[in-house]
Structure 1
Amino acid sequence: MVDTKVCNYVLCSERSQINFTISHFVLSKVSGHFSRFFGCALISEMESVDYAFLKIDVTSIRTGNSIRDRNLMKRSYFNSSEYRYIECEVKDLDLKKTLDHPVDFHVRIKEMEEVIPFNVFVISANSDMINLRITGKIKTQDFGLKWPSPIKAGLMVGSEANLSIFLSLFRGQTTIENLGNNPSQSSSVHVASHRK
């Protein structure tokens, strides 16, 4: 999925969140989040997203149970030693029409890629900053994610994850292939000026 593309907006992870809930075989659900992720977009005239890319570090998953988190890193689930990142990409998105219909995202987990519809809401947008809320569902079995066995019943998770994502992007420049590799390219350097 990754190629050399220049972005003019960069995700500020300090102001963004990637949260999820997933069904549980003992409790009603498990809530969690990812704490490390990177992203950028090429946006034209505040109306059109030519492309946007989100890169999520699966080793940063937190579900409130360290044993469960370690199991999720194993080969039968995320297999983080070989596949460190979840990758999400969207192209040709008209920001004025996001309320009319879901937006197709290309989601890659391990070696599997699926096109999944998500709801995109523009919270605010100007020449310096864009805030988005994204919601949707992912079926884990579509990506070959299987809970490690043998298991403890109290740690089991289900096969459908509900996502609630808030993304804040600031004007900046980077390339998709450099996401996460160069901290100086992060939009976090712009945060101080927007807090004044």
Structure 2
Amino acid sequence: METAVKTKWNIDQAHSSVGFKVKHMMISTVKGQFDSYTASVETSDDSFSDASFEFAAEVASINTNNADRDAHLKSDDFFNAAGFPKLKFTSRSFDGSTLVGDLTIRETTKEISLDVDFNGVAVDPYGQTKAGFEISGKINRKDFGLSWSAVTEAGSVVVGETVILVIDAQFVKEA
């Protein structure tokens, strides 16, 4: 039995973003992103029907446009960037609209399911073949040991438990 040759696709960081949203005091939403990450996909054809995804982000690159908040997120109250410098995702399956895989944060690994819009494949003006995806999902931060919590005097939770993932990914086919 012949094994299909896999093609590797690498993240095009100039046309991608790895973001998240979380409720603050249950009345507003704070958005952030990881500025330093790697990602790749291996697949046997441009349909991506057998695609396997790999992703890793540098925790220290977290950016919410607020230096004090970013420092708190990097501390042991949340990610502990010094002790656990990367978060990782490795896919288990992809059916074209649902991506299932293992997310590891602070050495805790949990299976998660993400919704995917595969936007297709196109060749750019420079002859590079690219594939675009919009990926979203939700995780409970406490499932991964990000359990810091505080309550305001009025009884509002300062940081919500549900984190919404918002990922726009464009991959470049290796020549």
TM-score (norm 2): 0.82
Structure 1 equivalent of residue 11 of structure 2: 11
Higher RCO structure (Cα 8 Å, ≥6 apart): 1
Residues 81 and 45 (structure 1 numbering): CA distance in 2 closer, same or farther, change over 3 Å?
Answer: same
2 CA distance for matches of 1:24 and 1:166? 23
Moved over 2 A (4+): 47-50, 91-95, 146-149
Q: How does 1:38-187 map to 2 (within 5 A)?
A: 38-47=38-47, 48-95=49-96, 98=97, 102-126=98-122, 128-147=129-148, 156-172=158-174
Structure with the higher helix share, 1 or 2: 1
Matched positions, count: 163
Structure 1 equivalent of residue 3 of structure 2: none
For structure 1, which runs of at least 5 residues remain unmatched after alignment? Answer: 1-5, 174-196
Cα root mean square deviation, aligned: 2.8
- Give SS of 1:18's match: strand
For structure 2, which runs of at least 5 residues remain unmatched after alignment? Answer: 1-5, 124-128
Structure 1 residues 94-135: Cα deviation after superposition (integer angstroms, max 9, x where no partner): 43xx2xxx3312111011011111101111225721100001
Structure 1 residues 4-50: Cα deviation after superposition (integer angstroms, max 9, x where no partner): xx861111111101121101116411111111111111111112344
Q: Which amino acid aligns with 2:137?
A: G
TM-score (norm 1): 0.74
